């Protein structure tokens, strides 16, 4: 199995059964990601070097004017797409097996978590997982310590307040806050 095959599998929304070839591939991919993350998170790489390393991690070229303040964490890395003028602040954790798209002009605050996997609710199958993509629209600002859950799309120009837990789609040009996040303001 390779990342393209795996990404197609997760995009279909099929069950990732515990112990399956897809599940085992996730663990192999995590080892690859940890190796690249060790260089991203160690020392003081230049902005250009961080963009190179992030491109290596994701398997695709990041957009122009990419910014990253390490440390950064992911357990896969090969299903993240980054547009132009995207900034990711320090301490973020991306669980990207289901796919994470950061459109142009996104700003991701300190220690934001973006998750794309859920475990099966049945205790007998709790090791099984389901992947759902997260799409962060153009010009979105996600505040510090926010959590974005699987399957969420955040509309263009929206703001996610610090500490919010986003479990549903966010309309464009709104501010959401709280746990669970709700629209508190139109922009």
Q: What residues are labeled active site?
A: 119
- Are 67 and 54 in contact by the 8 Å Cβ rule? The answer is no
Nearest to 78 by CA among 3, 172, 184: 3
State the SS3 of the chain.
Answer: CCHHHHHHHHHCCCCECCCCHHHHHHHHHHHHHHHHHHHHHCCCCCHHHHHHHHHHHHCCCCCCCCEECCCEEECCCCCEEECCCCEECCCEEEECCCCEEECCCCEECCCCEEECEEECCCHHHCCCEEECCEEECCCCEECCCCEECCCCEECCCCEECCCCEECCCECCCEEEECCCCEEEEEC
Q: Give me the half-sphere count of Cα atoms (radius 13 Å) on the Cβ side of residue 14.
A: 14
């Amino acid at each position: 199995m390779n990342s393209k095959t795996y990404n197609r599998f997760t995009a279909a929304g099929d069950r990732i059964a515990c112990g399956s070839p897809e599940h085992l591939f996730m663990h192999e991919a995590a080892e690859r990601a940890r190796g690249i993350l060790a260089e991203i998170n160690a020392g003081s790489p230049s902005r250009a070097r961080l963009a190179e390393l992030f491109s290596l991690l994701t398997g695709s070229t990041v957009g122009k004017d990419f910014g990253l303040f390490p440390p950064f964490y992911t357990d896969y890395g090969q299903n993240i797409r980054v547009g132009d003028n995207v900034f990711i602040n320090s301490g973020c954790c991306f669980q990207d097996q289901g796919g994470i798209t950061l459109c142009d002009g996104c700003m991701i605050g300190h220690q934001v978590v973006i998750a794309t996997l859920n475990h099966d609710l049945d205790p007998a199958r709790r090791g099984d997982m389901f992947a759902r993509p997260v799409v962060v629209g153009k010009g979105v600002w996600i505040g510090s310590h926010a959590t974005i859950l699987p399957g969420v799309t955040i509309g263009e120009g929206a703001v996610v307040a610090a500490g919010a837990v986003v479990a549903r789609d966010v309309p464009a040009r709104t501010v959401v806050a709280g746990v669970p996040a709700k629209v508190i303001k139109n922009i």
